[in-house]
Amino acid sequence: MNTSYLIRYVSYNLHTIVKTWEHPAIENQSPSIFCGRPDLKDDFFDLKYFFSLIKSIKKVENPISIPLLFGISNTLYYAYITSSELDFLIGPVRFSTPIHMNQTIENISLSKEDISTISICEFSGFASQVLLVHNLMHQNCIDLDDLIQFNCIDKSLHSSIMEDYSSLVFDRREESQPHNPYDQELREFTSIELGNVQMLRKSLQEDYIGKIGTLAKDEVRNMRNRGIVVVTLASRAAIRGGLLPEISFSLSDIFIQKLEEESNPEVILNMMHQFEFQYAEMVAELNAQKVGRPKKDQNPRIEQCKDYIFQHLHEKISVHNMAKELYLNSNYLSELFHQHEGIKITDFILREKVNLTKNLLSYSPYTYSQIATYLGFSSQSHLGKVFKKHTGFTLKQYRDIYGVKEF
């Protein structure tokens, strides 16, 4: 192991100091110090605080095998990594957003001069460097979850959760208020998966004794959280029903953002159900397109092909480039798609571009020329001809009839 290179690599990536000791690190042993920055000093941090922290942890827990992350007054952060050869102390760094650490040193006063030269990084970048050092120096590797679990999760959290759970269960029993029945929820999201709008409407109209769970103490936040859960479950149900993940996840992002913008709980509830119906109707439309088509086993190549198309709808899509991306012959891909979907791949691309054009004409203020350019058409005239062929409307006629009048 070229530890000298590793030390330099970490120091230059984090713009900070790396101290090392021959294992085990002891207080009266001076560390080797490397820092690529001549302007960076760590004079305010006496190592006696560090060794005092290490001793206190070892008294309570097993000898440290996972890197120890600790902070100074929730402002500066360090990482201590042990191995059979060397022990490392990496830091100081600052995070763009303060991070809670289970271990902190509070009795050090920091001035603006102390912290002004300390590099700012994201926690994820710092953690990746810490994991790199640890995993190169150990046979048993750890991941980010291990690092966070050991250093950032309050050990009392589990006990607190179980206490709240016990209290909630007891209160619910006393009040005879169970949660809403699971079979109703099953019918609700199965109807989306099947694209059955009527079944969804009936499931939402069901009456039951149960109570919807409380997801936040604030009424608006509680309803928003509930909406996020429902949209998430609905998006997965739609994917199971055949909606492409790229479309479903993108819609989910938009729906959740809309929920976050609303502050009326009743309106949020209504929006949440509208979004469920949107998913069910899209699956129903997919099912209608499949009517009369011979049913075949799902082909992962076709799904990859569709994913590519929806990710590049705003470009001029070349079957040759798509086939190259999927490591297939373009003629073979075209034939496979036609056999499986009952439509030429080029016609499928145009159909989806027309569908997106409908959306843009209805819900965006973009000009016809801007839409044509965005979707990879050679001109507004070209888009107009394709759109008229598929819908029977000119671009202007469609916008006049279905377009939102104000934005």
pLDDT, tens only, 356-395: 888 788 777 888 998 888 888 889 999 999 999 988 999 9
pTM over 0.75: no
Q: CA–CA separation, 21 vs 81, rounded Å?
A: 11
pLDDT-wise least confident of 62-66, 148-152, 226-230, 391-395: 62-66
Q: Which residue has the higher pLDDT, 65 or 62?
A: 65
Provide the pLDDT for residue 384: 92
Cβ pair 75, 108 in contact under 8 A: no
The pair phi, psi for residue 80, each rounded to 5°, is -115, 125
Confidence band, pLDDT 50/70/90 cuts, at residue 161: very low
Q: Which of 212, 206, 213, 215 is nearest to 187 (CA)?
A: 206
Given a contact cutoff of 8 angstroms between Cβ atoms, the answer to whether 110 and 7 are in contact is no
Separation CA 20–CA 86 (nearest Å)? 6
184 close to 101: Cβ distance less than 8 angstroms:
no
Q: Label the pairing between strands 18-22 and 86-95.
A: antiparallel
Alpha-carbon Rg for the chain, nearest whole angstrom, is 29
Q: Which residue has the higher pLDDT, 187 or 138?
A: 138
CA 4 to chain centroid: 36
**232-255 mean pLDDT:** 87
* pLDDT tens string 64-82: 578 989 888 878 899 999 8
Q: What is the pLDDT of residues 310-363, one digit of tens each?
A: 778 778 888 898 888 888 888 988 988 888 888 899 999 998 888 888 878 877
pLDDT at 1 over 60: yes
**What tokens were used for 296?**
């075949």
Alpha carbons within 13 angstroms on the beta-carbon side of residue 147 total 22
- Report pLDDT for 172: 47
Q: What is the pLDDT of residue 298?
A: 60
pLDDT band at 134 (very low <50, low <70, confident <90, very high): very high
Exposed e or buried b for every residue in 380-393, given b needs 16+ CB within 10 A?
beebbebbeebbeb
Is residue 86 exposed (0-12), middle (13-18) or buried (19+ Cβ within 10 Å)? buried
Nearest to 138 by CA among 89, 54, 65, 31: 65
Length of the chain: 407
Instruction: Count the alpha carbons within 13 Å of 304 in the hemisphere toward its beta carbon.
Output: 13
Residue 339 confidence (pLDDT): 85
Q: How far apart are CA 214 and CA 147, in angstroms?
A: 31
Encode pLDDT of 24-44 as tens digits.
778 788 889 899 888 887 776
